[in-house]
Amino acid sequence: MSTNRERVAVFPGSFDPLTNGHVDIILRGARLFDRIVVAILRNAEKSPLFTPEERVDTVRDVFQDNPNVEVESFEGLLVDYAGQKQASVIVRGLRAVSDFEFELQMALMNRRLGPAIETVFMMPAEQYTYVSSRLIKEVFALGGPITGLVPEVVEVRLREKRAQNRV
């Protein structure tokens, strides 16, 4: 049965930093759903390069002209956050077979925790299938080129971190 309710998706992740692979998935999600909420995890165990506030600012900057893309940070269980946002879908990107095992575990755990929320996987454009935040940080730290793999603003902010001797 169809309703007039708007279809909201959350796209959760660490986004440390945002890559063009993430951007590709967010744009696909923004075409598919009425609203997509980019949900940046606050309490990552790993010590992030960018603070949650810096990451929120960066993603907002990139999507400032996309009115149905919302950006927030969250902590706690993803399904609880999705419930607060009245989201019925969790979007995750799938790059290669190597992503599948962890993604399957998360999707099934999230289904157990929140049966009303469906996980939807989307493949990024081929040119981003090997791009990850971890590799971006590694290549940048070692002086390699990352142009074209991250939004320009991310490159600028990485250079700022370098100037502060943080990378």
SS3 158: helix
* Residue (65 or 107) nearer to ligand PNS, CB: 107
| Strand arrangement, sheet containing 118-122 | 69-74, 35-41, 8-13, 89-93, 118-122
Token reading at 70: 């919302």
Binding residue (CB under 6 A) for ligand PNS from 25, 26, 41, 150: 41
CA-nearest of 113, 23, 117, 112 to 76 is 113
Determine, following the binding rule CB under 6 A, whether residue 58 of this chain makes contact with ligand PNS.
no
Binding residue (CB under 6 A) for ligand PNS from 77, 116, 125, 156: 77
Determine, following the binding rule CB under 6 A, whether residue 106 of this chain makes contact with ligand PNS.
yes
* Residue (12 or 17) nearer to ligand PNS, CB: 12
What is the Cα–Cα distance from 104 to 116, expressed in whole angstroms?
17
Site track for ligand PNS across 3-32, x = CB under 6 A: ---------xxx------------------
Binding residue (CB under 6 A) for ligand PNS from 66, 86, 109, 134: 109
52-62 vs 152-163: helix crossing angle, rounded to 10:
150
Determine, following the binding rule CB under 6 A, whether residue 124 of this chain makes contact with ligand PNS.
no
SS3 120: strand
Q: Which residues of this chain interact with ligand PNS, rule CB under 6 A?
A: 12-14, 41, 77-78, 106, 109-110
